[in-house]
Amino acid sequence: MSTPPTLAHPAGVRARRLPTPRGELAALECSSDGAPATPVLLVPGFTGSKEDFIALLAPIAQAGHPVVSIDQRGQYESAGGDDATGYEVKSLAEDVLSVAEQLGRPIHLVGHSFGGIVSRAAALADPSAFRSLTLLDSGPAGVPEPSAGAARLLLQALAGLDLPTIWSFARARELEAGRRNGTPPPAPEIEEFLRNRFVANHPVALARYGEALISAVDQVDELAATRIPVLVAYGTDDDAWPPALQSEMARRLGAAVVALEGAGHSPAATHPEATVDALVRFWSDLAAS
């Protein structure tokens, strides 16, 4: 679970609603100063939200790129219905393509974790919509063990418990693990946000996301065939997809690769400066080539 370092919107960052054919998506945006460079779209992962990228928005805009982060359909402040087909990866990719159209394609697309699976699907559906794709702590296929086991436990809980109850049990275990590891709990306002975000998710969306997170198939060769420039970036301490697996994916893609030292599965939240540096450098190299 990504824990944003702050909830305060940096200067220039504002909340908005983005229209799509399937309904609005909640977003945070930051406009660039001067002549804008290629727009950027940031797509969060499973149980995440647009706030996971809050520390990236202003620095990306300051580098010249108008930037938007979204809640995916059924996540936090983006409403979703009870129809499970609306949360299939193909449908979520259509949302990404709709936003790309509004931003002024081709755009730079960044997908974190499960957001990388969705972003890859969007790139495969319409490669012309994207100037580049960054897979941030996301793998070639479904998440392996032990993370797959944790996702299955959540799916089992969703079958019989409501979200507040699931949160209470799961969060207690997380906080206890943090105490054993010497990790301090977040500030009270961040803790309250994490709970509110989780229980605001549509339970059908969480179930479909979890299923896709486990069952996603390897489409690395298909992505390589699109010839979209790709950056694979990951924390050296990522505990979802092993760093070696992500590095091998980068080799298969012929992609640029950045290992973010000391970061775990959510470097945008824990190591925002290094994450921004990797992204902006990648985009600048593309612009110069």
Residue spans per domain, the chain:
13-142+217-288
pLDDT tens profile 238-260: 999 999 999 999 999 999 999 99
Q: Is the pTM of this model over 0.85?
A: yes
Q: What value does the mean pLDDT of the chain take? A: 95
- Spatial contact of 273 and 258, defined as CB atoms under 8 Å apart: no
> Residues 164-188: pLDDT tens digits?
999 999 898 888 877 887 778 889 9
Residue type, 289: S
Residue 157 has phi, psi (to 5 degrees) of -65, -40
Which CATH number applies to 13-142+217-288?
A: 3.40.50.1820
3-state secondary structure of 250: helix
H or E element that contains 69: strand 67-70
